[in-house]
Structure 1
Amino acid sequence: MSLSLLLEKYDVSSEKGLQKALNEIEKEEAEVNEALSNALSRSCTLEGRLRTASQAYTKLGEVKNDAQKAAEMVEKTAALARDVSAKVRQLDLARSRVAECQRRVHDLIDLQLCSAGVEAAIRAHDYETGARHVARFLSMEPGSVAAARARGAPDPRTDMERAANTLRDHLVRKLEEAARKEDDVAVERLYKLFPQIGRAEEGVDLLAKYLATQTESKIRKACTLEGASGGGGGGGGGDGGAAHADAMTRVLEAGAAGVQRARSLLAPAHALLPRALRHLQPVVCAGVRRVYMSLASARGLRAGGPGPCAGAALAAEPALNELALTHSRIQLYFAFLRRNAELESAHLSEAEKADCIESVEKMIAESDTTRTAQDILSHYLELERFFLEESVSKALRLSSAQSAQAGLTAPASPAAPAAPAAPANLVDDVFFIARKVIRRSITTGSVDGACAVLNEAAAALERSAGAWLRRRLASPPPDPLPLPAPPPAHDAPPPARTNRELDVQRSQYLVCVTPVPTLPLFNNKTEPRIGGRAGWRRGRGVRGAVGGVGERGEVQTRVLQESGLGVERRARRVAAWAGSAAGGARERCARLTQCAALLALERVSHAPDALQPAPRLSPKDARDLLARRTDFKIEEIKRLKL
């Protein structure tokens, strides 16, 4: 700190101020001495650094000179590289032009050689060599010929095109001759030359025509009916029942063989398969139409009616089976065409693949085979409707006849069970017919046909069987059975004998009701007989036995589905008989019917449906009944939601 600052900071007029200023000066002096001592201690290091810096400074001049020389050399090298690269580019351009000129010269020379080579190959009947020359001509660049024409030279393509057309005419003529001779090897060899001369589509047309001719001859042989009896008639039974379906199968197999052969030959050109199918499909359509006309004539099929073969429902069944089989064969053939189109278009682009599949679908939709399939399906649906209506009507007539016969025989034989079983038999017959019709419609391979038959079956059940059952349920209950007439007076036993018999019976009754050791043996012998007679017993005692025997005795054994079905039929008979009884009896009969329905179930999952519309059993009782079935699992019964 300077002296002026000390004088300003401290009051030096007093001794205290002078002492403070002196202390400050001493403190600064100590700091300066310490700094000097530190500087003197680093003097050796500083001298070494100064010496190193002086030596480096002397070398900076040499480094500067070397750097200037290197910069001059780099500048000269860059200028030389620019000159060399420009010359190299000029050299590459000149070389490419020379190569292009040589290629064009070679193309012109090859063009002349190809023209002469094609003519020589035609004279020598070496069509493979001629096709290679034409392929070489087609692979040439158009610029070569254009350059020759620009210089005023004659167009060399004229001779080559004329030679190519001549080769094409020879190939067409030779292929037609081989087709007439049915020389498959020559036809395939000549067809493979058409893509090389740029006439792939024309080659496909010629090959498809040849394959169509061969397929037509095979189809003509396949149309011959084997095992048919000429006229056929309405029945169509015997061994010739499916003769037309077999003929249709052979026709479609011949067409499929032609398509498969065309596909194998068109392997290099996948997109040309629809073009070949357009030539093959009319031949197949003609064969299918021929077989269909023969089928319609033999079966007496006509539009708007089931035909003469529909005199009876059973007589129409062979025709139905044959129509369903014929239609399914046509659907399988269409599926074969679609699958082949998808396989052939797998190697194409998305646009070409879509075009190929669309072409095949359009060809199938516009073909006569599709119209024939529609005619077959229409005849099948008409005949199936006739079969369904006639079969259901016959079942109704049989059920009505059984009911009438049972009504006539009921007073003479009270134990006859035919009357209550008529509705059950009707339901079984009608649903058997519906199941048979629906299963047969599925074999046609047509979803529309199956849906139409399903709707028709539902309508027939509602129209015929449903109406009959509703009328049956709405009818009044049958009259109770009359009591047997009392015996005449002259046939009555004497009073003494009657009293003795009553005493004997009373003593036997007291012995039976007394708990003696013979009671288990008696039960074991009487219970099977009671259970066997319970099905045919009639009388007022049934009302009381329904609750006891039905709820305790009948369910204390393990049963199978067959025995459960028998119990269900008996329960329905008892319920029908007790329709006019008191409310308690009806309730017990309803419970017995649900018990029998549970025992006759086909699957455990159907148990909730068997308890509808009003459950009369508790969930515990229902599970206990289901556990009686030996073919049901306990785990599935426990998982049920009742």
Structure 2
Amino acid sequence: MSLSLLLEKYDVSTEEGLQKALSEVEKEESRVAECQRRVHDLIDLQLCSAGVEAAIKANDYETGAGHVSRFLSMDPGSVAAARARGAADPRDAMTRAANTLREHIVRRFEDAAQKNDDENVDKLFKLFPQIGRAEEGVRLLAKYLATKLGVEIRRLSVVAEGEGAVFADAMTRVLEAAAAAAARAAALAALAAPGLLPAALAALQPQVCAGVRRVSGALLRAAARPASALQAEPALAELALAHSTIQLYFAFLTRRTQADAASLPEAAKQAALDAVEKLIAECDLTRTAQDILGHYLELEKFFLEESVNKALKMATPQPGSTTSSLVDDVFFIARKVIRRSISTGSVEGACVVLNEVSAVLERDVTAVLRRRLRAAPPDPLPLPAPPAPRAPRLALDLTALDLTADLAHALNKDVEAQRLLFLAHLAEAEAGAEWAARLAEEAVRGAGGAARGPTDTHKVESCAAGLGAAAAALALAAEQGVAAVRAGLAPRLALWADALVQPAPLAEELEDDADAFPQALEQFSECARQHLPQHTVDALLLAVVTDVATRAEARILHHHYDREGGLAAERRCRRAAGRAGGGGARERAARLAQAASLLALERPQHAADVLRPPRLPPARVRDILARRTDFKIEDIKKLKL
């Protein structure tokens, strides 16, 4: 539309009319530009067709591919407009020229592939995306790389004679060559089009599977069931390393595919990842990995059982032995086995080994410790006997246990060794429970790298819980040992209970008399700390104080006291309560001190003044006051408690 017509059509004197006129002008300019572009496209199309033919004659395939790329980028509307005017389809000549160029490029590519001319292979491959044949280029490249990789793998899969992990090293070399080929395919495929890498990997994978299968066959034959656990270790290390290398190769393929498909839409990206996952799941390399893992697990079970049985045999008590390394040896083996299973890179393999270790600890090791902690030797922890009262008759009774102990030492020279060995086993049971819990934490933390998601993590945590059950079983064995110690101390505790509430003084000096039991407890705890963990020592102290306090409170009712005897008993019990150890022990001893304080009263009417929470029952207060020979029963009955 001419400018004069626009001025006639629109009133440009107004703003609205001027805007409409300008819009009309812009539309006309756009139509003119579109027409010019189509004319240029048609001219370029003719030039491209002639240029391709000239490039083929000159063997200048890069220039020819550039012309084809220009043709493919043209707007189809240009050709359609020309055909609408009755002109011949200008694409026919260009299509024939492009097909001819493709045939020349394919032929040259195959010639370069036969000559192993990597430079020309890469150069010609880059032309396929320009002529619209990216998928064909990737297919030809993958075929070339697969042929080249097959030759290299056959050379690398030959296992050299020698010591060390020769089979695992050969498998590593094979998979490194495969990874290098996959990396080259990924780099070139990225130049062609994203998302084509899975097709290239599918062409490479058969060569990889065949090479690894040859090496794994030799490895499995060499790792046949050995005669001893010591001979099994090198084979186990190789099997674990071989399986780990395969898992690393699979992870490498997945990462490369993710990087290659990163620019694709989400659906196409997921399709590429699914294709690689399917390739990994269905290839023979996965079956080879399963064979290696199965053989490893069978051999690892043999190693674990043989090693633990040997440790149990070596830990059999010998005459005069005072130490034991049973738990140290077993948990050293368990940690080694668990760490090796994690190094395979298989969550399933780690779970199987965790279950085996848990079963061995709970079934074998705990059973041995429970057997050895069933009964304690005489006087398992030295608790000094109370000093004998000055009355001759009582002196004979209170020293009876010491005479018995001296006789036992004279009859059995190994009694001290038995005592030390028992304490060593008790400490081992305590340490074993802690070790089992620590191993469970290490296993969950170590297997985190192999876990592919929350499901795998939960699976490892569930299997590691079996070590928690083993820890609980070892803790029960330790509790059994503590109970045996308490049973062994029972006769001496009965003597101390009677000594604390004796009406007669136990020593000439009042301080010595009052401090006898606290000093005995201090010697007892010092000796216990040399052999047992602190929490076990605290538990034993609580048990000792509770037992003595309970017995002593009952023994009060078997004696009669005057004021002096009551003061002596009160002084001993009060000093014992003040130095009884932990809070639980002091609380129980405080009740005994309260009962003894009733014996030291000047008058029964003062009983209410010494009763503090937790108060003794009124009936027990009256019974204790009745043991004072100088208190009248009538006064005791009148008390309001």
The alignment status of 1:440 with 2:340, answered yes or no, reads yes
Distance 1:432 1:614, change over 3 A: farther
> Which amino acid is the alignment partner of residue 249 of structure 1?
T
The alignment status of 1:271 with 2:205, answered yes or no, reads no
The alignment status of 1:119 with 2:26, answered yes or no, reads no
Once the two structures are superposed, the pairs formed by residues 101-140 of structure 1 within 5 Å of their partners are: 101-140=35-74
Would the aligned equivalents of 1:575 and 1:586 in 2 still touch at CA under 8 Å? no
In structure 2, distance between residues paired with 1:136 and 1:152: 24
In structure 2, distance between residues paired with 1:360 and 1:597: 63
Q: TM-score, normalised by structure 2?
A: 0.58
The alignment status of 1:256 with 2:184, answered yes or no, reads no
Would the aligned equivalents of 1:578 and 1:586 in 2 still touch at CA under 8 Å? no
Would the aligned equivalents of 2:198 and 2:276 in 1 still touch at CA under 8 Å? yes
> CA offsets per residue over residues 168-211 of structure 1, 9 Å max, x none?
11111111110111111101110111111111111111112222
Q: CA deviation at 1:389?
A: 1.7
In structure 2, distance between residues paired with 1:391 and 1:380: 16
> CA offsets per residue over residues 586-640 of structure 1, 9 Å max, x none?
9999999986775578xxxx854775699558999689xxxxxxxxxxxxxxxxx
In structure 2, distance between residues paired with 1:593 and 1:338: 64
Would the aligned equivalents of 1:262 and 1:276 in 2 still touch at CA under 8 Å? yes
Would the aligned equivalents of 2:113 and 2:121 in 1 still touch at CA under 8 Å? yes
Q: What's the secondary structure of 1:267's corresponding residue?
A: helix
> Which amino acid is the alignment partner of residue 361 of structure 2?
L
Residue 380 of structure 1: aligned partner = 296
Residue 120 of structure 2: aligned partner = 186
Percent identity at matched positions? Answer: 55
Residue 204 of structure 1: aligned partner = 138
Would the aligned equivalents of 2:220 and 2:295 in 1 still touch at CA under 8 Å? no
Q: What's the secondary structure of 1:271's corresponding residue?
A: coil
Distance 1:175 1:464, change over 3 A: same
Would the aligned equivalents of 2:312 and 2:326 in 1 still touch at CA under 8 Å? yes
Once the two structures are superposed, the pairs formed by residues 204-243 of structure 1 within 5 Å of their partners are: 204-228=138-162, 239=163, 241-243=164-166
Higher deviation after alignment, 581-590 or 96-105: 581-590
In structure 1, distance between residues paired with 2:199 and 2:30: 44
Would the aligned equivalents of 1:107 and 1:140 in 2 still touch at CA under 8 Å? yes
Residue 291 of structure 1: aligned partner = 215
Residue 165 of structure 1: aligned partner = 99
In structure 1, distance between residues paired with 2:306 and 2:412: 43
Distance 1:272 1:209, change over 3 A: same
Residue 229 of structure 2: aligned partner = 313
Residue 269 of structure 2: aligned partner = 353
Q: CA deviation at 1:471?
A: 4.0
> Which amino acid is the alignment partner of residue 183 of structure 2?
Q
Residue 254 of structure 2: aligned partner = 338
Q: CA deviation at 1:453?
A: 0.5
Once the two structures are superposed, the pairs formed by residues 361-400 of structure 1 within 5 Å of their partners are: 361-400=277-316
Q: TM-score, normalised by structure 1?
A: 0.58
Q: CA deviation at 1:391?
A: 2.1
In structure 2, distance between residues paired with 1:265 and 1:84: 56
In structure 1, distance between residues paired with 2:30 and 2:484: 111
Q: What's the secondary structure of 1:310's corresponding residue?
A: coil
In structure 2, distance between residues paired with 1:272 and 1:326: 29
Would the aligned equivalents of 2:243 and 2:344 in 1 still touch at CA under 8 Å? yes
Distance 1:166 1:459, change over 3 A: same
Distance 1:315 1:156, change over 3 A: same
In structure 2, distance between residues paired with 1:323 and 1:386: 14
Residue 428 of structure 1: aligned partner = 328
In structure 2, distance between residues paired with 1:459 and 1:613: 30
Higher deviation after alignment, 115-124 or 607-616: 607-616
The alignment status of 1:417 with 2:320, answered yes or no, reads yes
How many residues get paired?
Answer: 429
Would the aligned equivalents of 1:178 and 1:187 in 2 still touch at CA under 8 Å? yes
In structure 1, distance between residues paired with 2:338 and 2:312: 20
> Which amino acid is the alignment partner of residue 583 of structure 1?
A
Q: What's the secondary structure of 1:427's corresponding residue?
A: helix
In structure 1, distance between residues paired with 2:152 and 2:523: 67
Would the aligned equivalents of 1:324 and 1:380 in 2 still touch at CA under 8 Å? yes
The alignment status of 1:323 with 2:239, answered yes or no, reads yes
In structure 1, distance between residues paired with 2:311 and 2:91: 85
Would the aligned equivalents of 2:82 and 2:89 in 1 still touch at CA under 8 Å? yes
Higher relative contact order (CA 8 A, sep 6+): 2
